[in-house]
Amino acid sequence: MKKYFLWTLLLQLFFGLAQAQLKSPSDFLGYPLGTRHTPHHLVQRYMEYVAATLPDQVQLKEYGRTQENRSLLFLAISAAKNLSRLEEIRKTNLALTSGSVVMGAEQLKTLPAIVWLSYNVHGNEASSTEAAMLTLYELLREGSDCGVWLSNTVVLIDPCLNPDGRDRYVNWYQSVVGNKYNANPLSREHQEPWPGGRSNHYYFDLNRDWAWLTQIESQQRIKLYRSWMPHVHVDLHEQGYNEPYYFAPAAEPYHEIITPWQRKFQQDIGANHARYFDQNGWLYFTRERFDLLYPSYGDTYPVYNGSIGMTYEQGGIRAGLGIVNEDGDTLTLYARLTHHVTTSLSTIEVSARQQQRLVQEFASFFENARTKGMGSYKSFVLKADGRREAYLQKLLTLLDAHGIEYKCGTAATAKGYNYATAKEETFSVTSADVVINTAQANAALVQVLFEPRTKLADSATYDITAWSLPYAYGLHAYATKERVVQGANWKPSSMATPTTTYGYALSWTSPAAASFAARLLQAGIKLRYAEDSFTTDGKKFDPGTVLILKTSNERWGNMFFDKISAWANEQSINLVPLSSGLVQQGSDFGSDKVHAMRAPRVALLSGEGTYSLSVGEVWHFFERQLNYPVTLLNLTSFSIADLAAFDVLVLAEGRYRFLDSKESFEGVQKWVQGGGRLIVLGEASAQLAKLDLGLAIRKDDNSGDKIDSISLFKNRERDEISTITTGSIWRISLDASHPLGFGYPGYYYSLKTDGTIFESIKDGKGWNVGQTLQEGPLAGFVGSRLQPKLNGGVLIGQLPIGRGNISFFADNILFRNFWENGKLLFCNALFFDAR
């Protein structure tokens, strides 16, 4: 950090004596832009140079650091008259969202339009960071026609949202390209190896994380974003190199909450872009593929926060410095970045021209939100449930990060949609419940994140169609069309661990409890868990309750329970003191129904053949939430002998050759028979059906379908929709007495992203732990031909083999690490050795 500021200071001293003519990126870097990929540290140097050269027009800020400790940068660019009052502009704009300042029409005219340009959220979509440098230069160079726009705008530039992924790609490409680039698509420089540069350090797609904030880059960016709340936000991407260029207006479906003005401005932007592209003879398309629905994108999240959010997509993934596309043309890095510069500048141009309307509509958006709310629901009520309190607290932490307001309820009766039953019901509100009213500045975001079912104007979507937070967090909730009265500010339950001389009980109800148990196990503390429920000292405990007893922990001495209590308070874990091993109901603590809990040695397969995003979800969960060690093994080089060092092997989603046949599985099967435990996630579980283990894929039941003799070729993509699900939520019946179901109330909300589902396991070959009901999905799109197959099948189960077992989950229970409700299932498979 000190070096960063010293470098900036030296630049300011050098250039502060006289405003030298601004160097172009090519002149500064020493090579023509587009002839090399620029690594992040040189991008940073250029940004620092520009800010030091033109301090009256540019401010540079480091707003955070990546997992690999690279700088996250942010520039504010405007006319000198605006930059001198930049903080005033920012605060005034925020006041429009909160209503803390009422401004008349004349006052609004003095507020510049705020345009935020985000580049390179996917690291291997490499042209956009190059474009960020040239866009900055074109705005500020002497004689530029763009300067006049800066009188009416403040332009905010994030030159690279994902420096770790970008440098991973740039460093790899530089290592394989020759003296001249090879445009043949078969050349190795166009065959990026696993995991690729698209994702961040933990292999997460940061463009799916704007709302969920699972990643450190997202968390820091949203904090900055919400301190500005721009009027226009553009997320610049690349798509396959055979595609031309995509820009707004977006494709359907649009979420119904999107305003007419937000739709119109997209059309105005598109028309201006088209003018420039037509002049240059560049191909483009609009209103296709990229919709405005899923709330965690770099276009939709801004839209639901009052902005004009847009995605721009340049053809170029895998293109390197140049590639021959299917039309026989050579697509170069320079051409790609030039297209992005054109749309970036065109966006600023239109925003400057419509500055007054942008500001007025932005103010109106939030005034309507605060006074009327948005959408059909007026309130969302999260019911108090001590067993789910950890999930509730985690959700409220997320709401805090987004500035969403909530309070406790007051004693009342209301009528609303019960998320669990999908029916309108009368229910009681208590002071322990959390009430979120939609009449607030964040009305649109609240409505989108909490509505039980998202209305689809078109089922052909780019991403999942269901994400409602009460389902994602497994909470008992209601959505009501009447406003529920709020009470006091919500406060978490106080945590004060009572003293004990015998032991503590840890309720196994959340990943937070699992993380605490993992900490104790790593410290060498001996734990036990109860297979069945029990009652002691008048309190009932559910199956899976962890016992922290003096027995077998005598080596810790008299300070043992003091240490346990201190750690529990540190992690806000509620422990219940125990006075005896004799219980009133259930099994005493010395029973064979109470088992030792051991610290498993865990391996995760990674590399070619696995899906990097899924591997990243598991890796991130271990390191950043569970705080438990995991060893990543390379799928292409690991041997069966390696497994002797591990107790648990995790298979993230992917295609595994050793699951292709009984013969290839033989070595892993012997390891399982000897006591090993295999955890198989998502579509990888479908491969288990090949192994004669008693597990069978449920087949489609379309025998009665008639062939449609008049299907049209032009409808072929839409016809395929009938056989898929684009992210739907299902309530499944869960056997809470089985160790995989510990900590759950007898059901689970599963997010399905494909059609994988199994027949019931028969003849005692395994356990059917989680099964769908016959009622169809609670939310999200499911094709008409697929839904009958998904009704009444097995999604979660376990196959005992010798002294070990295979736990399988047909759905990805760690999906994007925002599906909190699934994480305890994973912990159950990890820590409980069911036999």
Model pLDDT, residue 107: 80
Please tell me whether residue 603 adopts helix, strand or coil conformation: strand
Q: Is the dihedral of CA 140, 151, 314, 299 positive or negative?
A: positive
pLDDT at 18 over 50: no
Residue 417, number of CB atoms within 10 A of its CB: 20
Give residue 387's pLDDT: 87
CB neighbour list of residue 447: distance below 8 Å, 6 or more residues apart = 257, 373, 374, 375, 377, 438
Let me know: does 687 contact 660? Beta carbons within 8 Å. Answer: yes
- Give percent of the chain with pLDDT exceeding 90: 88
**Average pLDDT value for residue range 124-128:** 97
Paired with 594 in beta bridges are 530
- At 767, give phi and psi (nearest 5°): -115, 125
Residue 786 has pLDDT above 80, yes or no: yes
Cβ atoms of residues 446 and 436 within 8 Å: yes
pLDDT of residue 717: 63
**Structure tokens belonging to residue 369:** 């939100």
Dihedrals φ, ψ of 119, to 5°? -120, 145
Give the SS3 label for residue 247: coil
Structure confidence at residue 716 (pLDDT): 61
* Residue in the structure block whose two tokens are 């309108």: 424
The whole-model pTM stands at 0.95
Using one digit for the tens of pLDDT, what is the confidence trace for 441-497? 999 999 999 999 998 866 678 799 999 999 999 999 999 999 999 999 998 887 788
pLDDT at 9: 47
Q: What pLDDT is stored for residue 460 in this prediction? A: 73
742 pLDDT band, cuts 50/70/90, is very high
Say whether pLDDT at 173 is over 60. Answer: yes
Q: How far apart are the first and last CA of the chain?
A: 54
Give the tens place of pLDDT for each residue, 430-445.
999 999 999 999 999 9
* Residue 15 banded pLDDT, cuts 50, 70, 90: very low
Amino acid at position 379, single letter: S
User: Residue 718 has what pLDDT?
Assistant: 61
Distance in angstroms (rounded) separating the CA atoms of residues 457 and 470: 23
Helix H or strand E segment including 521? helix 511-522
- The whole-number pLDDT of residue 517 equals 98
Instruction: Give the confidence band of 31 by pLDDT, cuts at 50, 70, 90.
Output: very high
Place of tokens 């649109």: 444
* DSSP-assigned beta bridge partners for residue 478: 381, 418
Whole-number Cα distances in Å, 383 to 420, 474, 748: 12, 11, 17
pLDDT value of residue 714:
65
Q: Measuring CA to CA, which residue among 437, 380, 433 is closest to residue 405?
A: 437
Q: What is the pLDDT of residues 586-618, one digit of tens each?
A: 999 999 999 999 999 999 999 999 999 999 999
- Closest of 163, 171, 165, 158 to residue 124, by C-alpha: 165
Estimate the crossing angle of helix 389-401 against helix 511-522, to 10 degrees: 100
Q: Any long-range contacts for 734-738 (C-beta under 8 Å, 24+ apart)?
A: 734/769, 734/770, 734/796, 735/767, 735/768, 735/769, 735/770, 736/542, 736/543, 737/532, 737/543, 738/767, 738/769, 738/798, 738/834
Q: Compute the distance between CA of residue 806 and CA of residue 796 in angstroms, rounded to an integer.
A: 11
How far is C-alpha 288 from the geometric centre of its chain's CA atoms? 24
Q: Which residues pair with 439 in a beta bridge?
A: none
Measured CA distances, 237 to 338, 376, 393 (Å)? 13, 34, 35
Band (pLDDT 50/70/90 cuts) for residue 4 is: very low
Three state DSSP letters for 349-377: HHHHHCHHHHHHHHHHHHHHHHHHCCCCC
CB burial string 184-206: b at 16+ within 10 A, e below: ebeeebbebebbbbbbbbbbbbb
Q: Please report, as a single letter, which amino acid is at residue 140.
A: L
Q: Render pLDDT for 382-393 as a digit per residue (tens, 0 to 9).
A: 999 988 999 999
* Angle value at C-alpha 662, between 660 and 664, nearest 5 degrees: 60
- Exposed e or buried b per residue across 756-789, where buried means at least 16 C-beta atoms within 10 angstroms of its C-beta: bbbbebeeeebbbbbbbeeeebbbbbbbebbbeb
The overall average pLDDT reported for the chain is 94
φ/ψ of 509, rounded to 5, equals -125, 0
pLDDT tens per residue, range 675-723: 999 999 999 999 999 999 999 999 876 544 554 555 676 666 666 788 8
CB 689 within 8 A of CB 797: no
**C-alpha triplet 783, 787, 790: angle, nearest 5°:** 135
Q: Is the separation of the CB atoms in 213 and 403 below 8 Å? A: no
CB-based contacts of 673, cutoff 8 Å, min separation 6: 801, 802, 803, 804
Read off the pLDDT of residues 388-438 as tens digits, 9 standing for 90 and up. Answer: 999 999 999 999 999 999 999 999 999 999 999 999 999 999 999 999 999
Distance separating alpha carbons of residues 118 and 235, to the nearest angstrom = 5
pLDDT at 129 over 90: yes
